[in-house]
A = this chain, B = another copy of it.
């Protein structure tokens, strides 16, 4: 935490080889659809060109995918914030992938939550926002099936070999925020889904502990 000082929230999260810098900034205005109704939280996700090998072209090549992930992160963070009670401001969480080795979107959610909480506390200390609006933790993890076996937090190598890829976003009370499962190589049945969800739940409860430690709780 506090990796940089320019933004009120700044977290460098590392999971395996994956490194994501999450910075959260605060603006004292809200988008048109929330004016007079509360605050807003949004996210932007991008990969640095040198974060992966071969190098990723800046701008061009994966815009649609990056926007899809940006929306996922934004939805996940908003799910644990009481927007109405938050105050008339917006928090924008930028998640820039410094190094990619699988699970960048889930690392961005887990780290982005920490940056958002930092920014919310910063804004509360200035009387702009209500820190209580962040009512729960949120974290995410990827699970996969490789040759019939269920694996947690796939790195890049496993990710490409996986038959099924499941991203799970959970809130602190064991509730589901988002479930995205995709058959990559082989289809999966309901029993597979259950086994993957069980494993994800365990992994996420560990992430919750790490988040609380980072906040000194």
Contact = CB atoms under 8 A, between A and B. Distances in A.
Given A5-B17, A94-B49, A99-B4, A197 B190 contact: yes
A64 B59 contact: no
Given A23-B48, A58-B94, A96-B96, 18 more contacts: A3-B98, A4-B19, A4-B99, A6-B51, A6-B100, A23-B51, A25-B49, A49-B92, A50-B96, A63-B64, A64-B67, A64-B70, A65-B67, A67-B67, A68-B71, A175-B187, A179-B193, A180-B180
Contacts of A197: 190, 193
Contacts of A5: 17, 99
Interface in A2-35: 3-7, 10, 17, 19, 21, 23-25, 27
6 contacts: A6-B100, A27-B55, A48-B96, A68-B68, A175-B183, A180-B180
Looking at chain A's contact residues, the main secondary structure is mixed
A41 interface: no
A5 to B, nearest CB: 7
A188 interface: yes
A53 interface: yes
